[in-house]
Structure 1
Amino acid sequence: MQYVSLGSTGLTVSRLGFGGIPIQRIDQPGTRALLQAASAAGVNYIDTARAYTVSEEWIGQALQEAGLRDKFILATKCRAVTKADMEKELATSLKNLRTDHIELYQFHNPSLDALKTILAPGGAMEALLEAKAAGVVGHIGITAHLAAVFEAALDVPEIETVMFPYNIVEQQGAELIRRCAELGKGFIDMKPLAGGAIEDGHLALRYVLSNPGVTVAIPGMAEIEELNANVKGAENTAPLTADEQAACQKVRDALGTQFCRRCNYCAPCTVGIQIPSVFLFQGYLNRYGLQNWGRERYATLQTKASACIGCGACEPRCPYNLPIREMMKKAAQDFGE
């Protein structure tokens, strides 16, 4: 296992981390066994979130029962934007994770407007800065799905890490990843397998970790077999060979007509559909094996896929020429609304 510094935090992390989303589909004993195996394999970074239902609780219980808390750097996140709400969410995370400190606490996918609230007086940043001063939180980060939020976060000195999607087919953050490294901020790569869309996990991790700007990749794992495959994929971080580059292009060609990169260039939708969010939640439904959670998150959308009027205004804006109208029909069928 290769280890690197997480930006300027002073933390040393394994380049392969443990993504905690899929824990929702197993059980607590399975979580304990998985984390024991991860530790034995040299993985020392765990990512979870308040929004991942039982994930924080089962991870906390597993680490306590197995005596592994000190073996891992814990990273979690929440969607609070005000100081008061962040204080409550942080307290819940500490209780769930059965710990008195969390090495990295992150703002969970805020919009640009939400980020402004977070940074304003009385915003969530105040709570995390106070928690950091008290030693309850070690470092502060942010996660994002939109490049504009990623870019804005680079100008916030208090934000020490950024998490963003990056993989063989999602390249919208490539230049920002380079800038992130230049600024001394750690870059955490979410969805290195594109939410399960890339079947060759070994190639996917080879691609991601061959980029020196990527500090740690956090593929979601629910089985020992997935962990072992990911560990093997993370062994070699050398530049890609010509054959591997050709294989990556084949993956792009295969997914290019059906895969949303969440760049948001399709916006605004005529009727207000959050197009990238629909496809993101559809991925949880169909590829992650998280049907209930995917449906729950889809239910939070004010305007569902079925509201699409087929005007086609979004499609010329898509840099990947996706057939958004047809994809939206499929999403409406999958979710039943």
Structure 2
Amino acid sequence: MEYVTLGKTGLKVSKIGLGGIPIQKIDAEGTRILVHKLSDRGVNYIDTARGYTVSEEYLGYALEGIRDKFVIATKSMARTREAMAADIEKSLCNLKTDYIDIYQVHNPSMEQLDQVLAKDGALEALQEAKKAGKIGHLGLTAHSVEVFERALDLDWVETIMFPYNIVEGQGEELIAECKKRNIGFIDMKPLAGGAIENGTLALRYICSNPNVTIVIPGMAEEHEMEENIKACLDSSPLSQTELDEIRKVREQLGTNFCRRCNYCAPCSAGISIPNVFLFAGYLNRYDLGEWARSRYSTLQAKASDCIECGVCETRCPYHLPIRKMMKECAEQFGE
């Protein structure tokens, strides 16, 4: 296994880690088996979240007796001090540990980030927990380039997680800036939510970028683990055949694929357009229908609320047929 230093955290982590979303598809015992196999193969980084239903709980069971072999990262969508403090305690309980290596602010909007940073905001609880030894390091995850760029200037941010893959390169310059500032960059959505079928190609592409610190594909089965590890440890240059396939993937997905840049906002009907497409991706590609529907149900405005004004389409840099895509999402979710 290849190990790298995760930016200013100083933590030594494997080049590949476990993304904890698919844990929801297996049971606690299956998670234990997978985690032990990861340990045997030298993988020492696990990412999960309060929002991933049973993921923290299953991982807590799986880590009993081998907690010290892993760097554990989790995250919360809490924005206030009180809510974040409660989530930190819940994470500690679920993960059956007295400390969490990295705790992340989970996907805030610019407005929500203001709340996190304000008096009685979530950051106060995170810093208090860090001072108490319950948290080792602080990070932030984002889907918005705007939030990513802002996070670079926050002195408490030691790691940033953002989507980067064959068809999502909107954060590439900011990823390079992470390297310059010694901020650990954690790559999520390496297979674009499952849209990219060739996982080996996807991971080879990501690992060819020296600015990516660690990549965390979701894994639920041993064969996925073996394929992913092999791809990440293959340091040979991308072949012409691979470059040609990368070009084809971009041609296939690039014209009809939401990169969650959020340039389409604000929606006239109050719809969070990128989140609708994000949850639709989970519904259609991750085999996580129930979870995707539960997340979708939290949206104040649904796809069916689209008034077809078309303003969003004039802002989309990728010229997506958003109105048509919204109709499809409304049909898939039934609202």
What TM-score comes out, normalization by structure 1 length? Answer: 0.97
After superposition, give the CA deviation of every residue in 1:183-229 in whole Å (9 maximum; x if it has no partner): 11000001000010000000000011111111111111111111111
Distance 2:168 2:80 in 1: 31
2:59 maps to a residue whose letter is I
Query: What is the CA distance between 1:86 and its match in structure 2?
Result: 1.3
Query: What is the CA distance between 1:238 and its match in structure 2?
Result: 4.5
Query: What is the CA distance between 1:121 and its match in structure 2?
Result: 2.3
Partner residue in 2 for 1:45 = 45
Task: Show the 5 A alignment for 1:2-41.
Answer: 2-41=2-41
Partner residue in 1 for 2:69 = 71
Task: Show the 5 A alignment for 1:297-308.
Answer: 297-308=295-306
Greater mean deviation of Cα atoms: 289-298 or 114-123: 114-123
Distance 1:263 1:82 in 2: 25
Query: What is the CA distance between 1:242 and its match in structure 2?
Result: 3.1
2:13 maps to a residue whose letter is V
Query: What is the CA distance between 1:260 and its match in structure 2?
Result: 0.6
Distance 2:132 2:50 in 1: 21
Distance 1:42 1:259 in 2: 34
What TM-score comes out, normalization by structure 2 length? Answer: 0.98
Distance 1:308 1:221 in 2: 35
After superposition, give the CA deviation of every residue in 1:32-77 in whole Å (9 maximum; x if it has no partner): 111111111111000000010000000001111xx22111100000
Distance 1:137 1:265 in 2: 34
Q: Please provide the CA RMSD for this pair.
A: 1.1
Query: What is the CA distance between 1:309 and its match in structure 2?
Result: 2.3
Are residues 1:139 and 2:137 paired?
yes
Distance 2:176 2:240 in 1: 22
Are residues 1:164 and 2:162 paired?
yes
Distance 1:149 1:289 in 2: 29
Q: Secondary structure of the residue that 1:164 maps to in structure 2? A: strand
1:250 maps to a residue whose letter is K
Distance 2:78 2:270 in 1: 24
* Structure 2, unaligned runs of 5 or more: none
Q: Secondary structure of the residue that 2:233 maps to in structure 1? A: coil
After superposition, give the CA deviation of every residue in 1:110-155 in whole Å (9 maximum; x if it has no partner): 1111111212222211221122122211000000010111111100
Partner residue in 2 for 1:187 = 185
Query: What is the CA distance between 1:82 and its match in structure 2?
Result: 1.7
Distance 1:3 1:238 in 2: 17
1:128 maps to a residue whose letter is L
1:101 maps to a residue whose letter is Y
Q: Secondary structure of the residue that 1:234 maps to in structure 2? A: helix
Query: What is the CA distance between 1:268 and its match in structure 2?
Result: 1.8
Partner residue in 1 for 2:98 = 100
Contact 1:80 1:124 in 2 (8 A): yes
Which residue, 95, 112, 115 being the options, matches 1:117?
115
Partner residue in 1 for 2:257 = 259
Distance 1:331 1:260 in 2: 13
Partner residue in 1 for 2:321 = 323
Contact 1:257 1:323 in 2 (8 A): no
1:293 maps to a residue whose letter is W
Greater mean deviation of Cα atoms: 168-177 or 242-251: 242-251
Distance 2:235 2:148 in 1: 25
Distance 2:166 2:17 in 1: 18
* Structure 1, unaligned runs of 5 or more: none
Distance 1:123 1:238 in 2: 46
Are residues 1:150 and 2:148 paired?
yes
After superposition, give the CA deviation of every residue in 1:17-43 in whole Å (9 maximum; x if it has no partner): 000001111111110111111111111
- Of all paired residues, the percent bearing the same amino acid is 62
